[in-house]
Amino acid sequence: MDLILWRHAEAVEAAAGEDDLSRVLTKKGHRQAARMAAWLDRNLPEGTRVLVSPSVRTQETVAALGRKFKLRDELVPETSLDDVLALLKWDAAAGPQLKGSVLLVGHQPYLGQLVSRLLGMQEQNCPVRKGSVWWLRTRIRDGQTQTVLLTVACPELTSSPWDDRS
């Protein structure tokens, strides 16, 4: 299984009393989303399932990709790592029960907790930059389930067809 984690791009700060789920992307956030979407579009395997938090900022982030996606209430900002693992049908001993590729568009802290857990880091929470993508692959080697980091990409270092680099 390939698990691709995409943290939402930069969003406006919540105003006093504003619902966190209604926060929108900044202009910079829209540019970040467009750059990462272009990179993902070139690299995502055909048939990748796309699961997205119901927050406005994650929906605006994934909209730049132009692919169908499913909103999942399990991916709200305050969700637990265990809820995310259950959504992914990830067994602690046997690893993922899903096959293929899944793109999960969500939030900190659970994205960083997921990276830390799956890669066996000592820290419980790995920092994941806004707008960045972490691509993990789980495989069986010598009878053991292993998760490896294939790549990390961030908008600042990803070229975009909208860049004028000439």
Q: Is the per-residue pLDDT at 122 higher than 50? A: yes
Q: Is the per-residue pLDDT at 84 higher than 80? A: yes
Superfamily of segment(s) 2-157:
Phosphoglycerate mutase-like (3.40.50.1240)
For 26, phi and psi rounded to 5 degrees? -80, 175
Q: Which residues contact 81 (CB under 8 A, 6 or more apart)?
A: 110, 113, 114, 117
The residue ranges of every structural domain in the chain are 2-157
**What pLDDT score does 166 carry?**
37
Q: Find the distance separating the first CA and the last CA of the chain, reported in whole Å.
A: 39
**What pLDDT score does 161 carry?**
52
CA-to-CA separations, 165 to 49, 160, 162, in angstroms, rounded: 33, 10, 9
**pLDDT band per the 50, 70, 90 thresholds, residue 164:** very low
Percentage above 70 pLDDT, the chain: 95
Indicate the average pLDDT of the chain: 92
Segment 47-58, tens digit of pLDDT: 999 999 999 999
Q: Is the per-residue pLDDT at 15 higher than 50? A: yes
Segment 20-31, tens digit of pLDDT: 999 999 999 999
**Mean pLDDT across 136-153:** 90
Whole-angstrom distance, CA of residue 31 vs CA of residue 98: 32
In the DSSP assignment, the letter for residue 159 is: -
Q: Is the per-residue pLDDT at 1 higher than 50? A: yes
Q: Is the per-residue pLDDT at 17 higher than 80? A: yes
**What pLDDT score does 160 carry?**
53
